Every structure is written in C-alpha cells, then in structure tokens.
Structure 1
C-alpha cells in the first residue's frame, strides 16, 4: 500500500476532499499523517467529517449494525498493572476478585440473545488463562451451545500457541485482545508486559483462523500524534473488529485523576478511525455514555460506527439494551441477523 503524506498547503478541510477520493471512492485507508489531519480538524468541519465517515461505512462496510453483549467470567485480582483498569490486583480500587459459575454464564448468554445480539463475549481479568480457566471456558461454551443460538467470542489475555489452538477447536470464532494505545505510548500505560506480547497473541489468533477483535481506549493522555499512530497500528494489523473505548477514570487507579475526553475530540476520532479502517467493524464500547451522551452517540452512529456493545461493560455501567436498540430503530439502522454472521 502506498504511503500518503498530506500536502502542507491544504486548507483545514482539505484533508476531507483527499479522503473522499482516496477512501470513499477507492477504498484505500488514510495513512498516519492523514489521520492526524482529521484529528486536528477545526470544529466547523466536524459534521462534514462524520458525514463522510458515514458514507465510507455504508459503502465499504454496509448498513447493518452488529450487537454484542459481554460478561466477566473472572473479575478483579489481575496481576497486570494496566493503569486505567480497576481490575488490577495491584491497585486499591473498589473492584474485588470474583468468578462466575457456568449456570450464570448460560443465563447471561440467554439474556444477551434476547436483545437480538448475535455475539456473546466471555471475558476474564488475567494475564493469560491457566489450565483451570481454560477448562471453565470450555465447559461454559459447551453449556451455552446446548441452550443458546449465539456466536461466542473470548477475551482471556495473552495466549500460548496451544491455547489459541484449543480455543479455535472449541469453536470460538472471534478473540478480543486490545492493543489499548499506540506502541510508543504503551509503556506509559502498562509496565508488566509489552505491546509486542499483545501483538504476538493477535497474530497467532489470526493464523488459527479466528476473527481478530482489537481496539483500545482513547483519551488516556496520549497525544494526537500517538492517537494517529494507534490508528495506523490497527490498519497494519487489519483486525475484523475494532472496539473504540473512551477513557472513563476509575477510582484507585494511576489514571483515576485524568480528565474525560472532550466529546468533539471523541467524534473526530470516530471519523478518523473509520477513514483509516473503511472495511472494519468499528464498535462503540466503554465510556461512550460518559464522553458522548445520547446526542453524541447518535452522531457517532451516523459517523462511521457499525457495532455496539449493549448492556453493562466489565466494571462500568452502560445503557439498557432496550435503549440502544430503540436508538438504532430511530436511526433506521438494521441489526445484523445471526445467520449473517455464520
């Protein structure tokens, strides 16, 4: 893929004309420097950027919206020091370690399916799964399959090759492992493992034939240059899905005193990431309620987003599934059917 550098004499909104030709017409992603120009757009160009991103989404990713629910199989007590996360056992946060039993997991899958969701993601707060957790995941997937017609995804931290192969054999079709932020900023966010270790897991997941879900959290103190770098990192990885989280400060964590990202910056990022990832499923995830509110969420859904997590997140509250589904209906956005995912 050819690298693109914006002309220095382009006016403020000139990058949108470039993006219209490059991304909308030709389906070619914006490069890092071009994404940075979108992230720097003055506010008077924001609606135009979102409108273009929506056109790109409709042309290259289609009109349907995928709905997903998530559940925490193991909460808290994680040995890693991700500075944003209240599930780390190293910080004095209110979250306490807990495990879910198999009947509760099945019930959560049933409730998720009732919302019309086609995706159910089993999440565990761990560096990587041990033998006990892998056995519990296997038992949970089998029990869910006996009673619920839904696709199953997992997010269990960093994996070995053997664990990747085992999950693929269980029928896990998508694996989530977020890179969280740009490679250059990652050491400011996590010190107990590296960005490269996360990337290695993602490469193995793709090699095993599972879909790759990889995104991150915006607004953790990274610069706009690093935000553009992160979009380029994801473009290079070419994941099937990118969940966009917006930072929600958690008490007791090292990042607990950071400010919430301005809504306009979050919407610029939605447009920019869509223009960098024209064919990718771009999912609204954690923090959108706090950062964007209802009006901003609607703008995002009309600005490139084509997937949502419904219900609560891992340690933060979301909107009710009914509220999100009602909003999709008002925006005349069709929810992706299960048979379209198989």
Structure 2
C-alpha cells in the first residue's frame, strides 16, 4: 500500500491510462477498489470525467436503477452551539448572521413533515445544533416522530449530536430509521477543523446509533484544505464503519466562519469525488448534500450519474435550489423520484 507521502508520486504517472469501465466491471463482479485506485480517481485528468461517470453510473444503475431519493432538512434548533467546528455557521466561534432559536415545538416539527411530503421527499431529516440533546429535547422529538410515523410513510433521520446509548434506544423505539453523524474529514486532518471534540467521538456516535438498531448515516465535507489522500481516508473509514448512507458535502464557505473565503473546489473535482465514493461504496446510498449548487453549478445534474440521493430545498442555514428545479433536473435526466416506502 502506498504511504501518504508516496501517493502522488506513484499514481500520477498512471493518469489517463486507467480503464474506468473495466474497473467498474470488476467492482460489479465483486472486487473491492483499493486505496490506490480510489486516489487515482481523484487525481485523474479532467478529460477522464466522462469515463469515470460512465463507470460510476454502471454501479449506480446496478443497485439503484434510475431512482433518486429526495431528503428534506428541518433545522429544528439553530445556533447556540458550544462546539468550534470551523466550517459551521452555528458554532461558538462563528460570527455569521444566522437565526438562533431553541428546539421548535412539536407542531412545527409535524408541519415540517407535511412540507417534506409536499416536496416529494422520502426522508425527513430533523437536525439540531449543539453538542448533544437534552433529555427534554429527545422526548419532544420522540413524540413528534411517533406521530409522523403514524400518519405518513416518511422515513425519519435525526441528527442531534452525540448520543447516549439510552437516547439512541429511545429514538429507535420511536421509529427513527436513520441517524446522521458525519465524520466530516479524515482522522489525520480532524484537529485542524475542530478542537472541542475528537474524530473518535464521532466514530463512537455512529457506533452508538448502530448498536441501537438505527441505520447509520455518515459522510464528509470536501474543500476544507484536505488532501486527496484525506478524502480517500474518510471514504475507507466510512467503509470500515459500514454506514448505509453517505452524504457528500462540498464546502460552502460562509462569511463569519474560520473557513470564510476558502475556494479550492471546481465542478470537475467534485464529480471525481462523487465517482470515487461510488466506486468504493457501490451499493450504498450516496447523497449530494450541502454546497451542491455552489460547487457543482451547471454540472450538478451530472452528479446524479454517481449519486442516487439529494436534499430538496434549503439546507441548515443556506438556501438550496427550488424543489421544482430539482424535480425538473431529475426528469430531464430521464430519472425518477423514489417513492416513499418503509
């Protein structure tokens, strides 16, 4: 295996010589992509992007056909967070002009579920800021989830920060299908973006949700100064955790955050990242998440040849594309929105 320092030297001479369709066929036959091959995807020349997406689409089509899963986020508690994550507009060190409010009422959470149905979303994501939820917050969310599950066929994903095993079991018993807690970046880079908790804390939270029988959702943010090797590392860490859903965020450098003004991504590299995750995780849900519109721009429809899931509407503190534009994008591709199913 190549070491971090050797990777660029060893892989670069192979640029342009990879048979990406052949690699996809090998993956379909059951062979796992190596770290070296994953890194080669990220280092591939831009002219290889169509071939990379062709291979990625072979894998995507095998497991998901032409269906696209829609997810809707509710920012159920905003700001007021003691953590210092450098990318986040809600962190303790952010001066971004964002709304700050405690946990929304149960009725407001229920109305969010009705809005998710109107937007044709199959999964409703209830997200709160903060290090971990208070017992009273878990109780309110549990009450809302029970009512949502009784009246809709939405799948429910929660993202509430660190969990105790008892809280995880409460959520599972209420009918929460999935729990999101992103690794965000590699273990090697983690302390450069956050000092108030560790990479290990995040891994432990994913494992806690899994132990309660909740489907694990965990992904990353690309564009925070990491190397291609770091992106590969987090892809394989998520493979080791055997997560079911992988949201890929592309940094939206919000004014007032420490990463304000950082702009190191381009649409072709973002497409390579999505393709790499599909080759590494052929049968997993891969979701284009925050920063989709900003970083993929006019090329965002191409991302769905690798990914099979997107958020519809706005994100936590930033605006997304109109739902109607997402629906039209999916239709123009000849794809179809995945219907809700439990």
TM-score by length of 1: 0.93
Q: How does 1:276-291 map to 2 (within 5 A)?
A: 276-291=280-295
Give the match for residue 216 of structure 2: 212
- 2:14 and 2:270 mapped to 1: Cα distance? 23
Give the match for residue 315 of structure 1: 317
Instruction: State the Cα deviation string for residues 28-78 of structure 1 (Å, max 9, x = none).
Output: 332222111100001111110011101111113433211110101110011
Give the match for residue 131 of structure 1: 135
Q: Determine whether 1:29 maps to 2:32.
A: yes
- 2:184 and 2:284 mapped to 1: Cα distance? 17
Match of 1:305 among 296, 304, 307: 307
- 1:73 and 1:53 mapped to 2: Cα distance? 35
Q: Determine whether 1:335 maps to 2:337.
A: yes
Secondary structure of 1:70's counterpart equals strand
Counting matched residue pairs gives 335
TM-score by length of 2: 0.93
1:53 touches 1:274 (CA, 8 Å); kept in 2? yes
Give the C-alpha shift of residue 310 in structure 1. Answer: 0.1
Q: Determine whether 1:247 maps to 2:218.
A: no
Where structure 2 has 5 or more consecutive residues not aligned to the other structure, the ranges are none
Give the match for residue 325 of structure 1: 327
2:75 touches 2:316 (CA, 8 Å); kept in 1? yes
Where structure 1 has 5 or more consecutive residues not aligned to the other structure, the ranges are none
Match of 1:187 among 179, 184, 191: 191
Match of 1:236 among 216, 234, 240: 240
Give the C-alpha shift of residue 102 in structure 1. Answer: 1.8
Secondary structure of 2:81's counterpart equals coil
Give the match for residue 52 of structure 2: 49
Give the C-alpha shift of residue 11 in structure 1. Answer: 5.2
Secondary structure of 2:321's counterpart equals coil
Secondary structure of 2:71's counterpart equals strand
- 1:273 and 1:146 mapped to 2: Cα distance? 35
Match of 1:261 among 265, 280, 296: 265
Pair 13,152 (structure 1): closer, same or farther in 2 beyond 3 Å:
same
Pair 141,148 (structure 1): closer, same or farther in 2 beyond 3 Å:
same
1:27 touches 1:60 (CA, 8 Å); kept in 2? no
Give the match for residue 151 of structure 1: 155
Match of 1:164 among 162, 165, 168: 168
Instruction: State the Cα deviation string for residues 5-43 of structure 1 (Å, max 9, x = none).
Output: 9996745332625523431x3243322221111000011
Give the match for residue 93 of structure 1: 96
- 1:184 and 1:168 mapped to 2: Cα distance? 32
Give the match for residue 173 of structure 1: 177
Q: How does 1:269-280 map to 2 (within 5 A)?
A: 269-280=273-284
Secondary structure of 1:255's counterpart equals coil
